[in-house]
Amino acid sequence: MGKHDKKNVKSEKKGGSKKKRILIVLTIIIVVLGLIVGVPYYMFSSQFSKVKVSTLPKDIGIDENIYNEKNKKIQEDYVNILLLGVDARDPNESSRSDSMMIATIDKKHNKIKLASLMRDMIVNTTGHGPMEGLNQDRLNHTYQYGGAALTLKTINENFKMNIKDFVEVDFFGLEKIIDKIGGVEINVSAAELPYVNSYQNEVAKIEKVKPVLLTKPGVQVLSGKQAVGYARIRYVGDMDFQRTERQRTVLTKVFEKMSKMNILELNNAIGEMLPDVNTSLDKGDILGLAKDILMNKMSKIDQLRLPIDGHNGTIYVRNTYFLGWDKEPNLEALHKFIYEEDYDPNSIK
C-alpha cells in the first residue's frame, strides 16, 4: 500500500509547576473530550450537570477471550477511552464523526497516549454498509448508523480493543471554547484560505448569520469558527493525513493558551463547552481519572496515527473509495503503542 513520509508517533514533554502540568495534560482531555477534571471539586460538581450522560448497551464488541481475569491488572494499568468529535449543527443532515481518537490513561508509565484513527478507514460493520450485502464502510459512517455506541463497538471489534467508555463533543463546543479564550494564532496558507471561508459560509447559512471571512493568508488570530474550519480542511496537501496535522495544530494552540489561564478562567472556558458534551463516564469515573492523572504526575503525551505509514492505501469496493489498511502491522503498532512491554501478540490474532 502507499507510503507516507509523516511520522506516526511523537512524544512531547510538558514542564512547569505541578498544577500547570496537570492542567496542560487535562486540557487535552478537556478540549478533545470536553471533560472538566482540572478544576476544584465544587466547580466540577456544579459544571458536570451540563454534560449529557449516556448508557452504553451490554454488547460493545469486547472479545472476552482476549480481555479477561488473566490480564485484569493490565486492563487496570491502561484505561482506554474513545474520543469523538462530531458536527451535528445542521438538523437536515445526519451526523458523522469527523475525529476519532483512542485516549489511553497509562498509569504504569505515567503518561497520556492519543491514537488517531483516520475517518475513511474501511472497517467491518455487520448489518450496516452503503451497499447491500457489503457489511463494510468507512469508520466515520458508523456514527451515522448507530451513534457513539456503534462506533465504539466497531473499533473494539476491528482493532481488538477493550474500550468501555466514550466522550463525544460537538465541534460547536470547540468553537465556543476557542472564542472564550480569545481565538488562536494560526498560519493560514493561500491554498487553505478559500476552504476556511467556505466553511464560514456553510455554517453562517445554517445559523442564519453573516459570515466573518478571512481576507488574506498568513499568521493571524482565528475565531472559533475559523479555527474549526481550518482544522477540517481535507483538500489541500496530503488530504486527510495533513488534515490530522491541522487538527493537532489547532489543539496545540488551544493548549498553549489554556495552560496560561488560572483555575477560574479555565473553569469559565470549559463551562462554555460542556453542554455540547455527551459521555458514558459518570461523575465518579471522571474524578477517578483526575485522581490517577494527579497522583501519577502524568506530564508526557504520546501520539500515534493509524493507519501507519507503508501499510495503507486507496482502495475501491464497488467503485466506492475507502482508505485501505494492512490489518496485522497496524494492529501490532496500535497495541505496542498502548501496552508497550505488556503487549501480547496473541491479543491481535
What is the fold, at CATH topology level, of the domain defined by 9-170+261-348? Nucleotidyltransferase; domain 5 (3.30.420)
Query: Does the pTM of the predicted model rise above 0.85?
Result: no
User: Which three cell numbers mark 88?
Assistant: 451535528
Window from 5-14, 104-113, 274-283 with minimum mean pLDDT = 5-14
* pLDDT band at residue 28 under the 50/70/90 scheme: very low
Which residues lie below 8 Å from residue 124, measured CB to CB, with a gap of 6+?
135, 136, 154, 157, 158
User: Greater confidence, 26 or 188?
Assistant: 188
Q: Please give the average per-residue pLDDT across 116-121, as a whole number.
A: 90
106 touches 77 (CB < 8 A): yes
- Is 215 exposed, middle or buried, given 0-12, 13-18 or 19+ CB atoms closer than 10 A? exposed
* pLDDT band at residue 113 under the 50/70/90 scheme: confident
Q: Please give the average per-residue pLDDT across 294-303, as a whole number.
A: 71
Residue 14 has pLDDT above 70, yes or no: no
User: Which three cell numbers mark 35?
Assistant: 471533560
Domain ranges of the chain: 9-170+261-348
- Report how far residue 227's alpha carbon sits from residue 251's, in angstroms, rounded to the nearest whole number: 10
pLDDT of 233 reads 87
Residue 173 has pLDDT above 80, yes or no: no
- Report how far residue 215's alpha carbon sits from residue 323's, in angstroms, rounded to the nearest whole number: 34
- Report how far residue 308's alpha carbon sits from residue 347's, in angstroms, rounded to the nearest whole number: 19
Window from 96-110, 122-136, 183-197, 286-300 with minimum mean pLDDT = 286-300
191 touches 236 (CB < 8 A): yes
pLDDT of 203 reads 86
pLDDT tens digits, 221-259: 999 999 989 988 877 866 667 777 787 788 778 877 877
* pLDDT band at residue 3 under the 50/70/90 scheme: very low
Residue 341 has pLDDT above 90, yes or no: yes
Window from 67-81, 92-106, 112-126 with minimum mean pLDDT = 92-106
